[in-house]
Structure 1
Amino acid sequence: MIRNSKFRVGYLERPMHPDFLTAIEAAQTCELVQLKLADGIDEIIRELSECDGYYVRASRDELPLPLHLGQELLDKLPNLKVAATYGAGYDTIDVPACSSAGVAVCNQAGGNAEAVAEHALAFMLAILKRIPECSAAIGSGTAADRSAFMGRELHGRTVGIVGLGHVGTRTAAYMRAFDCNVLAYDPNIDAETAQERGAEKVELDDLLARSDILSLHCPLTSETRGMIGTEALAKLPKGAVLVTTARGSIHDEDAVLAALQSGHLSGAGLDVWEKEPPAADHPLYRHPLVISTNHAAGVTGESRARVARMAAEVFCEAGAGRVPPRLLNPEIAERVAAALKDSAAARV
């Protein structure tokens, strides 16, 4: 087969936002290859095997398992040089396996930070002010006693943030606006950096013991999977609130349910789930002290357009023979640079 002179980028069904298509077309360095589920997995993989780039959906349950970028799929993609996720998350990609294969992996970290931080703040306020409970009581005709819905103020509370990256930093800024005491656990930054981002760096056990509100903003990795389970939740003060807009599987759903049922947690805002969307009869979804959304924190028009343009930038840079931004495996940057340079030269 004669390969096209442009850098070929495969994507499944549709991009995150039309701005991805617009930006790619304007750069004129890439050819887009739409992969359709109706054609079947085998045909998708055959088409993808002729691509230089793979635009990978970041939500686990929205991407068929055979199209998760792990070793099995990598073995079938001899031309792949760059994989970029739809958003900040990258748990549909095996980064070490990509590194071994010489494939650059990039995410769009920071692109949806504003939207996700706002969502976390909305969870906190709605839970503390008991807004869903009040609304339900009005609908059922049982809202006559206002004192039955005594709320709490966010102002002055201690908020523990796990993961002080883009979203965690924006969340910390919102917390400071409410004069909250902000603690942060993030092994990837030092105390000075945490302070610059508006938080006091502490160890996880200390954060848990002191936090009125626990807000999760870390990626799902082998280290964070199951991090917030029975033992961790027990260290929170009685009446604490859990908020997560990070990834499902970081918190143990059974442990969260038990903590709510015992009264140890006074509420939870859950945007991410072990399986998405959660089943309609999921006990957490049906619990009166839980506010549920389906991985929707970053789903705003503004953030989707932004992350789509960021992803387009990744492929446009690669198509021009340059190492793309936001490399998650920088240890192979030189290897990637050489491969992209050679590829660009061969297409001239």
Structure 2
Amino acid sequence: MNGPGMPSATILVTVPTLAPAGLDILRAEGCHVIFTSRDGGVQEMLQHLARGPIDGVISRTLPFGVEAFAAAGSRLKVVSRHGVGFDNVDVATATAKGIPVLIAPAANGQSVAELALALMLAVARRLPARDAAIRAGEWDRSGSGLQLSGRTLGLVGYGGIGKAVARMALGFGMRVVVFDPVAKPEPDSAVEMVDSLERLLPRSNFLSLHVPLTVQTQGMIGKRELEALPRNAVLVNTARGGLVDETALLAALASGHLYGAGLDTFASEPLMPNDPLCTRSDVVLSAHMGGSTDAALDATARMAAQHVLAVLNGRPIDRAVCVNPEVLKETCS
């Protein structure tokens, strides 16, 4: 990429910052890095792309669709996701243009898993409500919560994040049951695998989602699925908001069928303060921050930067991290 007489690559980051672990890698190879300001949003991103030329994009939350690819023109060679989800990128357009879309699996997995467990605990013990009551001058020791130990955690998805959640849940004394049609059973594992969502749901006192948002998974947890959960079950979603029918979730909470929900992702983000989810004390909310820890941001930035440079420099790429591997050259691993 940066041999004698060759221009340095220009990399657009679709957020205001990139952790030093990733930024240092890019700058060490002579890359010119452009950031998108918090207030500029999509319009500023499109302006950067149109001014160009942009060789690679590190994509976080902003949608990167047809208009973005058109603005980027022919020099754009790679879109590297700062994370494992890719629903904000128009993969079909990228594929048509021969542009690989790469993800950073496992880089933030431990942090996302820890938040999933934190949400389970916060909902089970009503921690936000207890905290608010004390701050309001109320010392109320009535009521009770749910103990995790002895209950069953159902996991939808058993990749790196799901496995990390399972390890921690087993440490809390929970039983863990998994549905993932592509995961393989692990010898001598305490985790039980079932072959359908229908078999998983009735056993899940806690249900935690760890799958990408695709056409197949959109709205996979709706009215029927929520009704199939045991009474006083808890739903946790640190994956993608579109996996859950939020209207059905609100109905299940209002009826008392569900004990509560812990949500880090939403069908529409940012979540507005007048959203009905914000009115419920049995729902614990966080702003899509599962991967927002120091360790996770460093690891994800490093991996996203390495992926950009691998494509631009013609280095081998693990096909498992490419959403559209059909565009990769034969030299890729």
Pairs within 5 Å for 1:13-52: 13-28=15-30, 30-34=31-35, 37=40, 40=44, 43-48=47-52, 50-52=53-55
Q: Deviations over 1:19-69 (max 9, x none)?
A: 3221111234x3334456398565323134x22211112x2xxx2xxxx33
Per the alignment, do residues 251 and 13 of structure 1 end up closer, same or farther by CA in structure 2, a change over 3 Å counting?
closer
* Map of 1:158 onto structure 2: 152
Q: Deviations over 1:300-326 (max 9, x none)?
A: 111111101111111222232114342
Q: State the alpha-carbon separation in 2 of the partners of residues 223 and 17 from structure 1.
A: 33
* Map of 1:73 onto structure 2: 68
- 1:209 aligned residue (182, 187, 202): 202
Q: Quick check: which one's helix share is greater?
A: 1
Q: State the alpha-carbon separation in 2 of the partners of residues 224 and 197 from structure 1.
A: 27
Q: State the alpha-carbon separation in 2 of the partners of residues 256 and 241 from structure 1.
A: 11
- 1:233 aligned residue (223, 226, 251): 226
Q: State the alpha-carbon separation in 2 of the partners of residues 290 and 298 from structure 1.
A: 20
* Map of 2:282 onto structure 1: 289
- 2:104 aligned residue (95, 108, 118): 108
Q: CA contact under 8 A between 1:184 and 1:194: conserved in structure 2?
A: no
Per the alignment, do residues 34 and 152 of structure 1 end up closer, same or farther by CA in structure 2, a change over 3 Å counting?
closer
Q: State the alpha-carbon separation in 2 of the partners of residues 255 and 336 from structure 1.
A: 47
Q: CA RMSD in A?
A: 2.4
Q: SS state of the match for residue 241, structure 2?
A: coil
- 1:95 aligned residue (88, 91, 101): 91
Q: In the alignment, residue 150 of structure 1 is paired with which amino acid?
A: S
Q: CA contact under 8 A between 2:181 and 2:195: conserved in structure 1?
A: no
Q: Given the alignment of the two structures, is residue 128 of structure 1 paired with residue 124 of structure 2, yes or no? A: yes
- TM superposition score normalised by structure 2: 0.88
Per the alignment, do residues 7 and 288 of structure 1 end up closer, same or farther by CA in structure 2, a change over 3 Å counting?
same
Q: In the alignment, residue 164 of structure 1 is paired with which amino acid?
A: Y
Q: Given the alignment of the two structures, is residue 307 of structure 1 paired with residue 300 of structure 2, yes or no? A: yes
Q: CA deviation at 1:332?
A: 2.4
Per the alignment, do residues 260 and 276 of structure 1 end up closer, same or farther by CA in structure 2, a change over 3 Å counting?
same
Q: State the alpha-carbon separation in 1 of the partners of residues 218 and 188 from structure 2.
A: 26
Per the alignment, do residues 280 and 336 of structure 1 end up closer, same or farther by CA in structure 2, a change over 3 Å counting?
farther
Seq. identity, %: 35
Q: SS state of the match for residue 310, structure 1?
A: helix
- 2:57 aligned residue (54, 58, 72): 54
Q: CA deviation at 1:279?
A: 1.2
- TM superposition score normalised by structure 1: 0.85
Q: CA contact under 8 A between 1:102 and 1:336: conserved in structure 2?
A: no
Q: State the alpha-carbon separation in 2 of the partners of residues 209 and 230 from structure 1.
A: 14
- 1:171 aligned residue (155, 165, 168): 165
Q: CA deviation at 1:124?
A: 1.0
Q: Given the alignment of the two structures, is residue 180 of structure 1 paired with residue 183 of structure 2, yes or no? A: no
* Map of 1:9 onto structure 2: 11
Deviates more, 1:281-290 or 1:236-245: 281-290
Between Structure 1 and Structure 2, how many residues are aligned? 322
Q: In the alignment, residue 8 of structure 1 is paired with which amino acid?
A: T
Deviates more, 1:159-168 or 1:125-134: 125-134
Gaps of at least 5 residues in structure 2 are none
